[in-house]
Structure 1
Amino acid sequence: MTSSQRHQAKVALVTGGGTGIGAAIAGRLVAEGAKVILTGRRPEPLEAAAERLSARAIAADMSAPGEVKAVIEQIVAEFGQLDLVVANAGGHGFSSVAETDDESWRSSMAANLDTAFVTLREALPQLIAQQGSAVIVSSLAGLFAGPNVAGYTVGKHALIGLTKSLARDYGKRGVRVNALCPGWVRTPMADAEMDEYAAAAGIASREEAYRKVTANVPLARPADPAEIAAIASFLGSSEASYITGATIVADGGAHVVDLPTIAFDGVL
Protein backbone atom coordinates (compact mmCIF):
# COMPACT_ATOMS: atom_id res chain seq x y z
CA MET A 1 0.00 0.00 0.00
CA THR A 2 1.00 3.62 -0.30
CA SER A 3 0.68 6.71 1.86
CA SER A 4 -0.17 8.83 -1.20
CA GLN A 5 -3.52 10.63 -1.05
CA ARG A 6 -3.94 10.91 -4.80
CA HIS A 7 -7.62 9.85 -4.52
CA GLN A 8 -8.52 11.99 -1.53
CA ALA A 9 -12.22 13.00 -1.51
CA LYS A 10 -13.03 10.73 -4.48
CA VAL A 11 -15.74 8.11 -4.57
CA ALA A 12 -14.83 4.98 -6.53
CA LEU A 13 -16.80 1.95 -7.67
CA VAL A 14 -14.95 -1.34 -8.23
CA THR A 15 -16.91 -4.15 -9.87
CA GLY A 16 -15.85 -7.72 -9.21
CA GLY A 17 -14.28 -6.36 -6.04
CA GLY A 18 -14.58 -9.33 -3.71
CA THR A 19 -11.36 -11.15 -4.59
CA GLY A 20 -8.19 -11.03 -6.66
CA ILE A 21 -7.40 -7.99 -8.78
CA GLY A 22 -10.60 -6.18 -7.86
CA ALA A 23 -9.99 -6.45 -4.13
CA ALA A 24 -6.37 -5.35 -4.59
CA ILE A 25 -7.45 -2.28 -6.58
CA ALA A 26 -10.06 -1.44 -3.96
CA GLY A 27 -7.47 -1.69 -1.19
CA ARG A 28 -5.09 0.58 -3.06
CA LEU A 29 -7.79 3.19 -3.64
CA VAL A 30 -8.84 3.15 0.01
CA ALA A 31 -5.20 3.57 1.07
CA GLU A 32 -4.96 6.58 -1.23
CA GLY A 33 -7.93 8.35 0.26
CA ALA A 34 -10.95 7.21 -1.76
CA LYS A 35 -14.30 6.07 -0.49
CA VAL A 36 -14.73 2.74 -2.26
CA ILE A 37 -17.83 0.74 -3.10
CA LEU A 38 -17.35 -2.91 -4.05
CA THR A 39 -19.86 -4.83 -6.14
CA GLY A 40 -20.10 -8.49 -7.06
CA ARG A 41 -22.59 -11.31 -7.29
CA ARG A 42 -21.32 -13.30 -4.27
CA PRO A 43 -22.17 -11.54 -1.00
CA GLU A 44 -19.82 -13.53 1.26
CA PRO A 45 -16.42 -12.69 -0.30
CA LEU A 46 -17.66 -9.21 -1.14
CA GLU A 47 -18.61 -8.39 2.44
CA ALA A 48 -15.43 -9.97 3.79
CA ALA A 49 -13.31 -7.84 1.45
CA ALA A 50 -15.25 -4.69 2.31
CA GLU A 51 -14.77 -5.26 6.04
CA ARG A 52 -11.07 -5.97 5.59
CA LEU A 53 -10.51 -2.92 3.38
CA SER A 54 -12.84 -0.43 5.09
CA ALA A 55 -14.96 -0.23 1.96
CA ARG A 56 -18.70 -0.45 1.26
CA ALA A 57 -20.18 -3.62 -0.26
CA ILE A 58 -23.27 -3.79 -2.47
CA ALA A 59 -24.07 -7.22 -3.87
CA ALA A 60 -25.38 -6.96 -7.44
CA ASP A 61 -25.20 -8.46 -10.91
CA MET A 62 -23.51 -5.67 -12.82
CA SER A 63 -24.69 -7.01 -16.16
CA ALA A 64 -28.32 -6.42 -15.13
CA PRO A 65 -29.41 -2.85 -15.99
CA GLY A 66 -31.95 -2.57 -13.18
CA GLU A 67 -29.48 -3.70 -10.54
CA VAL A 68 -26.74 -1.43 -11.86
CA LYS A 69 -29.05 1.58 -11.89
CA ALA A 70 -30.00 0.86 -8.28
CA VAL A 71 -26.31 0.60 -7.28
CA ILE A 72 -25.45 3.95 -8.89
CA GLU A 73 -28.48 5.62 -7.28
CA GLN A 74 -27.48 4.22 -3.89
CA ILE A 75 -23.90 5.46 -4.28
CA VAL A 76 -25.07 8.97 -5.17
CA ALA A 77 -27.60 8.99 -2.34
CA GLU A 78 -24.98 7.95 0.23
CA PHE A 79 -21.88 9.73 -1.05
CA GLY A 80 -23.20 12.48 -3.31
CA GLN A 81 -20.95 11.69 -6.26
CA LEU A 82 -19.07 9.08 -8.26
CA ASP A 83 -15.61 9.98 -9.58
CA LEU A 84 -14.01 6.73 -10.68
CA VAL A 85 -15.27 3.41 -12.01
CA VAL A 86 -13.03 0.34 -12.22
CA ALA A 87 -14.86 -2.19 -14.39
CA ASN A 88 -13.14 -5.37 -13.27
CA ALA A 89 -15.91 -7.99 -13.20
CA GLY A 90 -15.37 -10.93 -15.55
CA GLY A 91 -14.94 -14.65 -16.00
CA HIS A 92 -16.67 -17.47 -17.89
CA GLY A 93 -16.05 -18.59 -21.45
CA PHE A 94 -13.57 -21.47 -21.15
CA SER A 95 -14.30 -23.62 -24.18
CA SER A 96 -13.72 -23.59 -27.93
CA VAL A 97 -16.31 -22.18 -30.35
CA ALA A 98 -17.65 -25.61 -31.34
CA GLU A 99 -18.07 -26.55 -27.69
CA THR A 100 -19.79 -23.30 -26.68
CA ASP A 101 -23.57 -23.49 -26.65
CA ASP A 102 -25.85 -20.45 -26.81
CA GLU A 103 -26.37 -20.25 -23.06
CA SER A 104 -22.63 -20.44 -22.36
CA TRP A 105 -21.94 -17.77 -24.98
CA ARG A 106 -24.48 -15.41 -23.44
CA SER A 107 -23.00 -16.05 -20.00
CA SER A 108 -19.52 -15.21 -21.32
CA MET A 109 -20.66 -11.95 -22.87
CA ALA A 110 -22.66 -11.01 -19.79
CA ALA A 111 -19.73 -11.61 -17.44
CA ASN A 112 -16.92 -10.15 -19.53
CA LEU A 113 -18.56 -7.41 -21.62
CA ASP A 114 -22.03 -6.52 -20.38
CA THR A 115 -20.80 -5.88 -16.84
CA ALA A 116 -18.54 -3.09 -18.09
CA PHE A 117 -20.93 -1.75 -20.72
CA VAL A 118 -23.96 -1.52 -18.44
CA THR A 119 -22.00 -0.18 -15.47
CA LEU A 120 -20.35 2.58 -17.47
CA ARG A 121 -23.52 3.50 -19.34
CA GLU A 122 -25.33 4.02 -16.04
CA ALA A 123 -22.35 5.77 -14.42
CA LEU A 124 -21.69 8.21 -17.27
CA PRO A 125 -23.90 11.06 -15.98
CA GLN A 126 -21.95 11.07 -12.73
CA LEU A 127 -18.57 10.73 -14.45
CA ILE A 128 -19.42 13.64 -16.73
CA ALA A 129 -20.57 15.76 -13.79
CA GLN A 130 -17.39 14.98 -11.83
CA GLN A 131 -15.00 15.07 -14.84
CA GLY A 132 -14.19 11.56 -13.73
CA SER A 133 -12.52 8.52 -15.22
CA ALA A 134 -12.85 4.79 -15.74
CA VAL A 135 -10.44 1.89 -15.90
CA ILE A 136 -11.68 -1.17 -17.78
CA VAL A 137 -9.82 -4.31 -16.78
CA SER A 138 -9.43 -6.47 -19.88
CA SER A 139 -6.67 -9.08 -20.13
CA LEU A 140 -3.80 -10.26 -22.26
CA ALA A 141 -6.63 -12.35 -23.72
CA GLY A 142 -7.97 -9.05 -25.04
CA LEU A 143 -5.00 -8.94 -27.41
CA PHE A 144 -4.25 -12.60 -28.13
CA ALA A 145 -6.06 -15.93 -28.09
CA GLY A 146 -5.36 -18.80 -25.75
CA PRO A 147 -6.57 -22.35 -26.42
CA ASN A 148 -10.22 -23.18 -25.79
CA VAL A 149 -11.24 -19.85 -24.25
CA ALA A 150 -13.44 -18.44 -27.04
CA GLY A 151 -16.02 -16.59 -24.97
CA TYR A 152 -13.44 -15.14 -22.59
CA THR A 153 -11.17 -14.07 -25.47
CA VAL A 154 -13.95 -12.41 -27.47
CA GLY A 155 -15.34 -10.62 -24.42
CA LYS A 156 -11.93 -9.30 -23.38
CA HIS A 157 -11.18 -8.13 -26.94
CA ALA A 158 -14.52 -6.30 -26.97
CA LEU A 159 -13.62 -4.43 -23.78
CA ILE A 160 -10.80 -2.70 -25.64
CA GLY A 161 -13.28 -1.57 -28.30
CA LEU A 162 -15.59 -0.33 -25.56
CA THR A 163 -12.70 1.61 -24.03
CA LYS A 164 -11.90 3.32 -27.32
CA SER A 165 -15.53 4.15 -28.04
CA LEU A 166 -16.07 5.69 -24.62
CA ALA A 167 -12.82 7.66 -24.81
CA ARG A 168 -13.74 8.94 -28.29
CA ASP A 169 -17.28 9.99 -27.42
CA TYR A 170 -16.84 11.40 -23.93
CA GLY A 171 -13.36 12.90 -23.87
CA LYS A 172 -14.73 16.30 -24.84
CA ARG A 173 -17.04 16.06 -21.84
CA GLY A 174 -14.10 15.55 -19.51
CA VAL A 175 -14.24 11.78 -19.03
CA ARG A 176 -11.15 9.61 -19.44
CA VAL A 177 -11.37 5.86 -20.08
CA ASN A 178 -8.44 3.44 -20.34
CA ALA A 179 -8.05 -0.33 -20.61
CA LEU A 180 -5.69 -2.40 -18.49
CA CYS A 181 -4.55 -5.81 -19.79
CA PRO A 182 -2.88 -8.01 -17.18
CA GLY A 183 -1.13 -11.27 -17.98
CA TRP A 184 -0.84 -14.00 -15.37
CA VAL A 185 -1.63 -12.65 -11.89
CA ARG A 186 -1.68 -14.63 -8.65
CA THR A 187 -5.42 -14.62 -7.95
CA PRO A 188 -7.84 -17.32 -6.78
CA MET A 189 -8.98 -17.74 -10.40
CA ALA A 190 -5.40 -18.16 -11.67
CA ASP A 191 -4.54 -20.46 -8.78
CA ALA A 192 -7.42 -22.73 -9.78
CA GLU A 193 -6.20 -22.73 -13.38
CA MET A 194 -2.67 -23.63 -12.22
CA ASP A 195 -4.03 -26.49 -10.12
CA GLU A 196 -6.01 -27.81 -13.07
CA TYR A 197 -3.02 -27.47 -15.39
CA ALA A 198 -0.71 -29.15 -12.87
CA ALA A 199 -3.05 -32.12 -12.49
CA ALA A 200 -3.48 -32.53 -16.26
CA ALA A 201 0.24 -32.16 -17.04
CA GLY A 202 1.56 -34.25 -14.17
CA ILE A 203 3.24 -31.25 -12.54
CA ALA A 204 4.00 -31.57 -8.86
CA SER A 205 2.80 -28.22 -7.55
CA ARG A 206 1.01 -24.94 -8.24
CA GLU A 207 4.32 -23.08 -8.01
CA GLU A 208 5.85 -25.30 -10.66
CA ALA A 209 2.80 -24.69 -12.85
CA TYR A 210 3.28 -20.93 -12.52
CA ARG A 211 6.94 -21.36 -13.46
CA LYS A 212 5.96 -23.36 -16.54
CA VAL A 213 3.38 -20.87 -17.84
CA THR A 214 5.73 -17.91 -17.35
CA ALA A 215 8.91 -19.62 -18.61
CA ASN A 216 8.90 -17.62 -21.85
CA VAL A 217 7.77 -14.35 -20.27
CA PRO A 218 10.70 -11.89 -20.06
CA LEU A 219 10.18 -11.25 -16.34
CA ALA A 220 9.58 -15.00 -15.83
CA ARG A 221 6.95 -14.71 -13.10
CA PRO A 222 3.28 -13.90 -12.57
CA ALA A 223 2.26 -10.52 -11.20
CA ASP A 224 1.13 -9.86 -7.68
CA PRO A 225 -2.35 -8.27 -7.58
CA ALA A 226 -0.82 -5.21 -5.89
CA GLU A 227 1.24 -4.54 -9.02
CA ILE A 228 -1.90 -4.39 -11.15
CA ALA A 229 -3.65 -2.27 -8.52
CA ALA A 230 -0.86 0.31 -8.69
CA ILE A 231 -1.39 0.74 -12.44
CA ALA A 232 -5.16 1.01 -12.09
CA SER A 233 -4.75 3.65 -9.38
CA PHE A 234 -2.43 5.68 -11.58
CA LEU A 235 -4.75 5.50 -14.59
CA GLY A 236 -7.66 6.69 -12.48
CA SER A 237 -5.72 9.59 -10.98
CA SER A 238 -4.97 13.14 -12.09
CA GLU A 239 -1.38 12.04 -12.73
CA ALA A 240 -2.73 10.33 -15.85
CA SER A 241 -4.74 13.40 -16.87
CA TYR A 242 -3.67 13.28 -20.54
CA ILE A 243 -4.08 9.53 -21.01
CA THR A 244 -7.36 8.30 -22.49
CA GLY A 245 -8.30 5.55 -24.89
CA ALA A 246 -5.06 3.75 -24.09
CA THR A 247 -4.50 0.03 -23.68
CA ILE A 248 -1.93 -0.53 -20.95
CA VAL A 249 -0.40 -4.01 -20.97
CA ALA A 250 0.96 -5.40 -17.68
CA ASP A 251 2.13 -8.90 -18.56
CA GLY A 252 5.80 -9.07 -17.60
CA GLY A 253 6.71 -8.53 -21.25
CA ALA A 254 4.83 -11.55 -22.65
CA HIS A 255 3.40 -9.54 -25.55
CA VAL A 256 6.86 -8.66 -26.93
CA VAL A 257 7.91 -12.29 -27.40
CA ASP A 258 8.08 -13.51 -30.98
CA LEU A 259 6.74 -17.06 -30.71
CA PRO A 260 8.64 -18.49 -33.70
CA THR A 261 11.97 -17.49 -32.11
CA ILE A 262 11.44 -19.19 -28.74
CA ALA A 263 13.26 -22.27 -30.07
CA PHE A 264 16.40 -20.10 -30.43
CA ASP A 265 16.59 -19.30 -26.70
CA GLY A 266 19.83 -20.61 -25.28
CA VAL A 267 20.95 -21.91 -28.69
CA LEU A 268 22.21 -18.82 -30.53
Structure 2
Amino acid sequence: MSGYLVTGGGTGIGAAIAARLAADGGDVVIAGRRRQPLEEVAATHPRITAMVADAADGAAMRRVVDEAGERCGSLDGVVANAGGHGYDTIGATGDEAWRASLEGNLTTAFVTAREALGSLEASQGSIVVVSSLSGLRAAPQTAGYTVGKHALLGLVRSLARDYGPRVRANAVCPGWVRTPMADEEMRVLVDGGGAADIDAAYAAVTRDVPLARPAAAEEVAGAVAFLLGPDAGYVNGATLVVDGGAHIVDVPTLAFG
Protein backbone atom coordinates (compact mmCIF):
# COMPACT_ATOMS: atom_id res chain seq x y z
CA MET A 1 0.00 0.00 0.00
CA SER A 2 1.32 3.45 -0.95
CA GLY A 3 1.00 6.90 0.54
CA TYR A 4 0.62 10.03 -1.55
CA LEU A 5 0.46 13.80 -1.19
CA VAL A 6 -1.35 15.90 -3.79
CA THR A 7 -1.23 19.70 -3.64
CA GLY A 8 -4.04 21.69 -5.22
CA GLY A 9 -6.17 18.63 -4.54
CA GLY A 10 -9.50 20.35 -3.98
CA THR A 11 -10.66 20.80 -7.56
CA GLY A 12 -10.08 19.85 -11.17
CA ILE A 13 -6.96 17.87 -12.04
CA GLY A 14 -5.79 17.60 -8.44
CA ALA A 15 -9.10 16.17 -7.27
CA ALA A 16 -9.11 13.67 -10.14
CA ILE A 17 -5.55 12.58 -9.28
CA ALA A 18 -6.50 12.05 -5.63
CA ALA A 19 -9.54 10.01 -6.65
CA ARG A 20 -7.49 7.84 -9.02
CA LEU A 21 -4.74 7.14 -6.48
CA ALA A 22 -7.29 6.30 -3.79
CA ALA A 23 -9.22 4.03 -6.17
CA ASP A 24 -5.95 2.22 -6.90
CA GLY A 25 -5.59 1.48 -3.19
CA GLY A 26 -3.37 4.34 -2.06
CA ASP A 27 -3.78 6.52 1.00
CA VAL A 28 -3.90 10.13 -0.16
CA VAL A 29 -3.45 13.45 1.63
CA ILE A 30 -4.68 16.43 -0.37
CA ALA A 31 -3.53 19.94 0.47
CA GLY A 32 -4.74 23.36 -0.58
CA ARG A 33 -5.68 26.76 0.75
CA ARG A 34 -9.48 26.39 0.68
CA ARG A 35 -11.02 24.05 3.24
CA GLN A 36 -14.43 23.47 1.68
CA PRO A 37 -13.40 21.97 -1.68
CA LEU A 38 -10.75 19.85 0.02
CA GLU A 39 -13.28 18.42 2.45
CA GLU A 40 -15.74 17.78 -0.37
CA VAL A 41 -13.12 15.72 -2.21
CA ALA A 42 -12.11 13.89 0.98
CA ALA A 43 -15.74 12.97 1.59
CA THR A 44 -15.83 11.01 -1.67
CA HIS A 45 -13.38 8.32 -0.54
CA PRO A 46 -12.29 7.02 2.88
CA ARG A 47 -8.64 6.89 1.79
CA ILE A 48 -8.47 10.65 1.12
CA THR A 49 -7.57 13.09 3.91
CA ALA A 50 -7.77 16.89 3.56
CA MET A 51 -5.25 19.33 5.02
CA VAL A 52 -5.43 23.10 4.64
CA ALA A 53 -2.01 24.52 3.75
CA ASP A 54 -0.35 26.96 1.37
CA ALA A 55 2.02 24.93 -0.81
CA ALA A 56 4.40 27.90 -1.04
CA ASP A 57 4.83 28.01 2.75
CA GLY A 58 7.75 25.87 3.91
CA ALA A 59 6.57 25.47 7.51
CA ALA A 60 3.07 24.53 6.38
CA MET A 61 4.36 21.94 3.94
CA ARG A 62 6.70 20.42 6.52
CA ARG A 63 3.64 19.89 8.71
CA VAL A 64 1.71 18.36 5.80
CA VAL A 65 4.55 16.04 4.83
CA ASP A 66 4.97 14.87 8.43
CA GLU A 67 1.23 14.30 8.78
CA ALA A 68 1.06 12.45 5.46
CA GLY A 69 3.87 10.16 6.54
CA GLU A 70 2.11 9.38 9.82
CA ARG A 71 -1.28 8.80 8.25
CA CYS A 72 -0.02 6.77 5.30
CA GLY A 73 2.86 4.93 6.94
CA SER A 74 5.24 6.20 4.28
CA LEU A 75 5.24 8.88 1.61
CA ASP A 76 5.80 7.14 -1.70
CA GLY A 77 4.59 9.73 -4.18
CA VAL A 78 4.06 13.48 -4.33
CA VAL A 79 2.09 15.38 -6.95
CA ALA A 80 2.89 19.10 -7.10
CA ASN A 81 -0.27 20.33 -8.77
CA ALA A 82 -0.98 23.71 -7.13
CA GLY A 83 -0.86 26.58 -9.63
CA GLY A 84 -2.47 29.63 -11.16
CA HIS A 85 -1.94 33.39 -11.55
CA GLY A 86 -0.16 35.34 -14.25
CA TYR A 87 -2.76 36.21 -16.86
CA ASP A 88 -1.52 39.37 -18.57
CA THR A 89 1.19 40.65 -20.88
CA ILE A 90 4.66 41.47 -19.60
CA GLY A 91 4.09 45.19 -20.00
CA ALA A 92 0.88 45.07 -17.99
CA THR A 93 2.29 42.91 -15.19
CA GLY A 94 3.31 44.84 -12.09
CA ASP A 95 5.85 43.72 -9.52
CA GLU A 96 3.28 42.30 -7.12
CA ALA A 97 1.45 40.38 -9.85
CA TRP A 98 4.77 39.00 -11.12
CA ARG A 99 5.72 37.75 -7.69
CA ALA A 100 2.29 36.20 -7.27
CA SER A 101 2.54 34.36 -10.58
CA LEU A 102 5.93 32.86 -9.73
CA GLU A 103 4.82 31.97 -6.21
CA GLY A 104 1.63 30.32 -7.42
CA ASN A 105 3.12 28.39 -10.32
CA LEU A 106 6.75 27.72 -9.37
CA THR A 107 7.41 28.29 -5.67
CA THR A 108 4.55 25.99 -4.69
CA ALA A 109 6.19 23.08 -6.52
CA PHE A 110 9.70 23.98 -5.34
CA VAL A 111 8.69 24.15 -1.67
CA THR A 112 6.58 20.99 -1.89
CA ALA A 113 9.46 19.08 -3.48
CA ARG A 114 12.04 20.40 -1.04
CA GLU A 115 10.01 19.53 2.03
CA ALA A 116 9.09 16.06 0.73
CA LEU A 117 12.56 14.99 -0.46
CA GLY A 118 13.62 13.39 2.81
CA SER A 119 10.51 11.23 2.94
CA LEU A 120 10.74 10.34 -0.75
CA GLU A 121 14.39 9.37 -0.45
CA ALA A 122 13.52 7.08 2.46
CA SER A 123 10.81 5.34 0.41
CA GLN A 124 12.64 5.46 -2.95
CA GLY A 125 9.61 7.42 -4.11
CA SER A 126 8.58 9.63 -6.96
CA ILE A 127 7.41 13.18 -7.58
CA VAL A 128 5.27 14.36 -10.47
CA VAL A 129 5.00 18.07 -11.20
CA VAL A 130 1.94 19.26 -13.11
CA SER A 131 3.09 21.87 -15.61
CA SER A 132 1.05 22.73 -18.71
CA LEU A 133 1.21 22.97 -22.46
CA SER A 134 2.07 26.56 -21.52
CA GLY A 135 5.33 25.09 -20.22
CA LEU A 136 6.22 24.32 -23.85
CA ARG A 137 4.42 27.07 -25.78
CA ALA A 138 3.22 30.63 -25.18
CA ALA A 139 -0.42 31.66 -25.17
CA PRO A 140 -1.36 35.33 -25.49
CA GLN A 141 -1.49 37.53 -22.40
CA THR A 142 -0.29 34.83 -19.98
CA ALA A 143 3.30 35.94 -19.36
CA GLY A 144 3.57 35.07 -15.67
CA TYR A 145 1.77 31.76 -16.09
CA THR A 146 3.87 30.81 -19.12
CA VAL A 147 7.19 31.64 -17.46
CA GLY A 148 6.24 29.77 -14.29
CA LYS A 149 5.12 26.67 -16.17
CA HIS A 150 8.30 26.67 -18.27
CA ALA A 151 10.37 26.93 -15.10
CA LEU A 152 8.69 23.85 -13.64
CA LEU A 153 10.35 21.72 -16.30
CA GLY A 154 13.75 23.00 -15.17
CA LEU A 155 12.79 22.17 -11.59
CA VAL A 156 11.93 18.60 -12.59
CA ARG A 157 15.20 18.15 -14.47
CA SER A 158 17.21 19.46 -11.53
CA LEU A 159 15.39 17.09 -9.18
CA ALA A 160 15.96 14.14 -11.50
CA ARG A 161 19.65 14.98 -11.95
CA ASP A 162 20.44 15.60 -8.30
CA TYR A 163 18.33 12.97 -6.54
CA GLY A 164 18.33 9.94 -8.85
CA PRO A 165 18.54 7.05 -8.20
CA ARG A 166 16.83 7.67 -4.84
CA VAL A 167 13.91 9.73 -6.18
CA ARG A 168 12.35 9.86 -9.64
CA ALA A 169 10.99 13.22 -10.85
CA ASN A 170 8.82 13.80 -13.92
CA ALA A 171 6.41 16.36 -15.33
CA VAL A 172 3.08 16.25 -17.11
CA CYS A 173 2.01 19.01 -19.48
CA PRO A 174 -1.76 18.96 -20.01
CA GLY A 175 -3.42 20.93 -22.76
CA TRP A 176 -7.05 21.99 -22.43
CA VAL A 177 -8.70 20.00 -19.65
CA ARG A 178 -12.36 20.37 -18.81
CA THR A 179 -12.21 21.71 -15.24
CA PRO A 180 -13.91 24.54 -13.31
CA MET A 181 -10.81 26.70 -13.88
CA ALA A 182 -10.92 26.10 -17.64
CA ASP A 183 -14.67 26.71 -17.64
CA GLU A 184 -13.95 30.24 -16.41
CA GLU A 185 -11.62 30.77 -19.35
CA MET A 186 -14.30 29.48 -21.71
CA ARG A 187 -16.75 31.99 -20.23
CA VAL A 188 -14.37 34.78 -21.24
CA LEU A 189 -14.60 33.51 -24.82
CA VAL A 190 -18.40 33.28 -24.60
CA ASP A 191 -18.75 36.75 -23.10
CA GLY A 192 -16.52 38.16 -25.82
CA GLY A 193 -18.77 36.76 -28.55
CA GLY A 194 -16.32 34.08 -29.67
CA ALA A 195 -18.64 31.18 -28.83
CA ALA A 196 -22.33 30.61 -28.15
CA ASP A 197 -21.79 28.63 -24.92
CA ILE A 198 -19.11 26.79 -22.96
CA ASP A 199 -19.40 23.63 -25.07
CA ALA A 200 -18.92 25.70 -28.22
CA ALA A 201 -15.96 27.45 -26.61
CA TYR A 202 -14.23 24.16 -25.85
CA ALA A 203 -14.93 23.07 -29.42
CA ALA A 204 -13.37 26.29 -30.71
CA VAL A 205 -10.16 26.04 -28.66
CA THR A 206 -9.65 22.38 -29.62
CA ARG A 207 -10.64 22.71 -33.28
CA ASP A 208 -7.05 22.24 -34.46
CA VAL A 209 -6.10 19.63 -31.85
CA PRO A 210 -5.79 16.22 -33.56
CA LEU A 211 -8.17 14.58 -31.04
CA ALA A 212 -10.52 17.59 -31.44
CA ARG A 213 -11.68 17.72 -27.81
CA PRO A 214 -10.48 18.77 -24.37
CA ALA A 215 -9.20 16.15 -21.94
CA ALA A 216 -11.16 14.93 -18.97
CA ALA A 217 -9.33 15.47 -15.70
CA GLU A 218 -9.37 11.70 -15.21
CA GLU A 219 -7.21 11.28 -18.32
CA VAL A 220 -4.50 13.48 -16.83
CA ALA A 221 -4.85 11.57 -13.57
CA GLY A 222 -4.15 8.36 -15.45
CA ALA A 223 -0.91 9.79 -16.82
CA VAL A 224 0.15 10.88 -13.34
CA ALA A 225 -0.67 7.46 -11.89
CA PHE A 226 1.51 5.86 -14.54
CA LEU A 227 4.47 8.11 -13.74
CA LEU A 228 4.13 7.40 -10.03
CA GLY A 229 3.83 3.65 -10.54
CA PRO A 230 6.24 0.77 -11.14
CA ASP A 231 5.65 0.67 -14.90
CA ALA A 232 7.48 4.02 -15.08
CA GLY A 233 10.36 2.74 -12.97
CA TYR A 234 12.97 3.82 -15.53
CA VAL A 235 11.31 7.12 -16.43
CA ASN A 236 13.13 10.05 -14.84
CA GLY A 237 13.39 13.72 -15.80
CA ALA A 238 10.77 13.25 -18.50
CA THR A 239 7.98 15.50 -19.71
CA LEU A 240 4.79 13.66 -20.63
CA VAL A 241 2.53 15.82 -22.79
CA VAL A 242 -1.19 15.12 -22.36
CA ASP A 243 -2.76 17.45 -24.90
CA GLY A 244 -4.51 15.38 -27.54
CA GLY A 245 -1.65 16.07 -29.95
CA ALA A 246 -1.82 19.87 -29.85
CA HIS A 247 1.94 20.24 -29.51
CA ILE A 248 2.65 18.41 -32.78
CA VAL A 249 0.54 20.72 -34.95
CA ASP A 250 2.50 22.86 -37.40
CA VAL A 251 0.59 26.13 -37.22
CA PRO A 252 1.75 27.51 -40.61
CA THR A 253 0.18 24.48 -42.35
CA LEU A 254 -3.29 24.79 -40.79
CA ALA A 255 -4.63 26.44 -43.93
CA PHE A 256 -3.96 23.20 -45.82
CA GLY A 257 -6.39 21.27 -43.61
Tell me the TM-score normalized by structure 2: 0.98
Q: Which residue in the other structure is 1:215 paired with? A: 207
The counterpart of 2:242, out of the listed 246, 250, 263, is 250
Q: 1:81-92 to 2 correspondence within 5 Å?
A: 81-92=74-85
Following superposition, the deviation at residue 18 of structure 1 comes to: 0.3
Which of 136, 141, 149 is the aligned partner of 2:142? 149
**Cα offset for 1:78?**
3.0
C-alpha distance in 2 between matches for 1:35 and 1:185: 25
Cα deviation for residue 202 of structure 1 reads 4.3
Q: Secondary structure at the match of 2:127?
A: strand
Residues in 2 aligned to 1:136 and 1:255: alpha-carbon distance in whole angstroms: 19
Aligned-pair Cα RMSD in Å: 0.8
1:76 Cα deviation (Å)? 2.4
How far 1:204 moved relative to its partner?
1.1
Question: Could you tell me how far 1:207 is from its partner in structure 2?
Answer: 0.5
Task: Measure how far apart 1:80 and its partner are.
Answer: 3.1
Residue 66 of structure 1 and its aligned partner are, at CA, apart by 1.2
Match of 1:40 in 2: 32
3-state secondary structure, aligned to 2:162: helix
1:152 Cα shift? 0.4
SS at match of 2:43: helix
Identify which of 67, 73, 83 aligns with 1:74.
67
Q: 2:177 aligns with which of 160, 185, 203?
A: 185
Query: Equivalents in 2 of 1:110, 1:219: separation in Å?
Result: 33
Which amino acid in 2 is paired with 1:182?
A: P
C-alpha contact 1:26 1:53 (8 A) present in aligned 2: no
- Report SS of the residue matched to 2:86: coil
Q: Percent identity?
A: 56
Give 1:156's aligned amino acid: K
Report if aligned partners of 2:209, 2:244 keep a CA contact under 8 Å in 1.
yes
User: Structure 2: how far apart are the matches of 1:82 and 1:226?
Assistant: 22
- TM-score where L is the length of structure 1: 0.94
Tell me if structure 2 keeps the 8 A contact 1:108–1:151. Answer: yes
1:260 paired residue number: 252
SS for the counterpart of 2:115 is helix
Range with greater deviation from structure 2 (30-39 or 200-209): 200-209
Is 1:53 the equivalent of 2:52? no
Q: CA deviation at 1:201?
A: 2.7
Match of 2:151 among 154, 158, 177: 158
Corresponding residue to 1:204 among 186, 196, 207: 196
SS in 2 for 1:52: coil
Distance (whole Å) between structure 1 residues aligned to residue 200 and residue 139 of structure 2: 20
Number of residue-to-residue matches in the alignment: 256
**4+ residue runs over 6 A deviation:** none
Tell me the residue number matched to 2:232: 240
Structure 2 partner of 1:134: 127
- The corresponding residue for 2:101 is 108
